[in-house]
Structure 1
Amino acid sequence: MVDSILFITNAFPDTASSHRGIFIKKLASLLHEEGHRVSVVAPKIYKASRLFEVQGGVKIYRFPFFAGNKPLIEYEKIPYLKMIVYYLSGTVLAIYAFFRNRCSLIHVHWAIPTGLIGALLRSLISKPLIVTIHGSDFRLGTTGSGLIRRLFLYVCRRANHIHCVSKVQSKALTELGIAEEKISTFPMGVDRTFLDVGKAQDRIFREGPVTVFSNRNLQPIYNVSLLIQATPLIMREMPGVKFWVAGDGPERERLEKEADRLGATGHIQFLGRVRPNDMADLLSKVDIYVSTSLYDGTSVSLLEAMASGCFPVVSDIPSNREWIRDGENGFLFPPDKAELLAQRVIDVIRSRSLIEKSRKENLRLIEERALWSVCMGRVKEIYEDQLYSVSHGTK
Structure 2
Amino acid sequence: MKILFVADGRSPISRNWIRYFAERGDEVYLASTFACELDFPVKRLELTPVAFSAVKKQTSTPGSGSSRTLGLRTLIRQWLGPLTISRSARKLRAFIQEVQPDILHALRVPYEGMLAAEALSGGRVSRPLKFIVSIWGNDFTLHAPSTPLMGYYTRKVMKAADALHADCERDIRLARAWGLGAESPTLVAPGNGGIRGDVFYPPKEFVKEPVIINPRGFRAYVKNEAFFKSIPLVLAKRSDARFVCSSMQGEAQALKWIQELGIEHAVQLNPPLSHAQMGEVFRGAQIVVSPSVHDGTPNSLIEGMACGCFPVAGDLESIREWITPGQNGLLVDPNNPQAIADAILIALEREDLRREAAGLNANMISAKAEYGRTMERVVEFYRSVIMSASHQTGG
- State the percentage of identical aligned residues: 22
Q: 1:280-302 CA deviation, whole Å, 9 max, x = no partner?
A: 12211111100111111211111
Report the Cα offset of residue 33 of structure 1: 1.8
Matched, 1:186 2:189: yes
Contact 1:140 1:149 in 2 (8 A): no
Q: TM-score, normalised by structure 2?
A: 0.86
Q: Which residue of 2 aligns with 1:88?
A: 87
Q: 1:226-245 CA deviation, whole Å, 9 max, x = no partner?
A: 11101001011101111100
Which whole-Å CA distance do the structure 1 matches of 2:199 and 2:274 have between them? 14
Q: 1:275-320 CA deviation, whole Å, 9 max, x = no partner?
A: 2332112211111100111111211111111111110011111111
Report the Cα offset of residue 6 of structure 1: 0.6
Q: Which residue of 2 aligns with 1:39?
A: 29
Report the Cα offset of residue 165 of structure 1: 1.3
Kindly tell me: are residues 226 and 93 of structure 1, through their superposed partners in 2, closer, same or farther at Cα, counting changes over 3 Å? same
- Alignment map for 1:1-395 (pairs within 5 Å): 2=1, 4-9=2-7, 11-13=8-10, 21-44=11-34, 49=35, 55-58=39-42, 59-64=44-49, 65=52, 66-69=54-57, 74=71, 75-79=73-77, 83-85=82-84, 87-89=86-88, 91-123=89-121, 124-125=124-125, 126-140=128-142, 142-182=144-184, 183-188=186-191, 189-195=194-200, 197-198=201-202, 201=203, 203-207=204-208, 209-248=209-248, 252-390=251-389, 393=390
Report the Cα offset of residue 85 of structure 1: 4.2
- Which sits farther off after the overlay, 140-149 or 372-381? 140-149
Kindly tell me: are residues 81 and 147 of structure 1, through their superposed partners in 2, closer, same or farther at Cα, counting changes over 3 Å? closer
SS at match of 2:5: strand
Q: TM-score, normalised by structure 1?
A: 0.86
- Which sits farther off after the overlay, 293-302 or 378-387? 378-387
Contact 1:106 1:129 in 2 (8 A): yes
SS at match of 2:216: coil
Contact 2:86 2:118 in 1 (8 A): no
Amino acid at match of 2:141: R
Structure 2: state its 5+ residue gaps. Answer: 64-69
Kindly tell me: are residues 178 and 367 of structure 1, through their superposed partners in 2, closer, same or farther at Cα, counting changes over 3 Å? same
Which whole-Å CA distance do the structure 2 matches of 1:121 and 1:238 have between them? 56
Kindly tell me: are residues 242 and 394 of structure 1, through their superposed partners in 2, closer, same or farther at Cα, counting changes over 3 Å? closer
Kindly tell me: are residues 381 and 121 of structure 1, through their superposed partners in 2, closer, same or farther at Cα, counting changes over 3 Å? farther
Report the Cα offset of residue 353 of structure 1: 1.8
Report the Cα offset of residue 131 of structure 1: 0.5
Kindly tell me: are residues 219 and 394 of structure 1, through their superposed partners in 2, closer, same or farther at Cα, counting changes over 3 Å? closer
Which whole-Å CA distance do the structure 1 matches of 2:30 and 2:391 have between them? 28
Kindly tell me: are residues 54 and 223 of structure 1, through their superposed partners in 2, closer, same or farther at Cα, counting changes over 3 Å? closer
Which whole-Å CA distance do the structure 2 matches of 1:222 and 1:39 have between them? 33
Count of residue pairs brought into register by the alignment: 370
Contact 2:313 2:331 in 1 (8 A): yes
Report the Cα offset of residue 149 of structure 1: 1.4
Which whole-Å CA distance do the structure 2 matches of 1:93 and 1:248 have between them? 36
Contact 1:194 1:304 in 2 (8 A): no
Report the Cα offset of residue 76 of structure 1: 4.2
Which whole-Å CA distance do the structure 1 matches of 2:350 and 2:87 have between them? 56
Q: 1:315-350 CA deviation, whole Å, 9 max, x = no partner?
A: 111111110110100111111211111111111111
Q: Which residue of 1 aligns with 2:66?
A: none
Which whole-Å CA distance do the structure 1 matches of 2:255 and 2:386 have between them? 51
Kindly tell me: are residues 222 and 242 of structure 1, through their superposed partners in 2, closer, same or farther at Cα, counting changes over 3 Å? same
Contact 2:199 2:276 in 1 (8 A): no
Q: Which residue of 1 aligns with 2:67?
A: none
Which whole-Å CA distance do the structure 2 matches of 1:175 and 1:63 have between them? 29
Which whole-Å CA distance do the structure 2 matches of 1:279 and 1:180 have between them? 40
SS at match of 1:325: coil
- Which sits farther off after the overlay, 135-144 or 123-132? 135-144
SS at match of 1:356: helix
Which whole-Å CA distance do the structure 2 matches of 1:115 and 1:309 have between them? 35
SS at match of 1:318: coil
Report the Cα offset of residue 193 of structure 1: 2.2
Which whole-Å CA distance do the structure 2 matches of 1:179 and 1:102 have between them? 24
Which whole-Å CA distance do the structure 1 matches of 2:380 and 2:360 have between them? 28
Which whole-Å CA distance do the structure 2 matches of 1:224 and 1:12 have between them? 27
SS at match of 1:113: helix
- Which sits farther off after the overlay, 335-344 or 145-154? 145-154
CA RMSD of aligned residues (A): 2.4
Amino acid at match of 1:292: P
- Which sits farther off after the overlay, 309-318 or 376-385? 376-385
Contact 2:169 2:318 in 1 (8 A): yes
SS at match of 2:198: helix
Kindly tell me: are residues 231 and 29 of structure 1, through their superposed partners in 2, closer, same or farther at Cα, counting changes over 3 Å? same
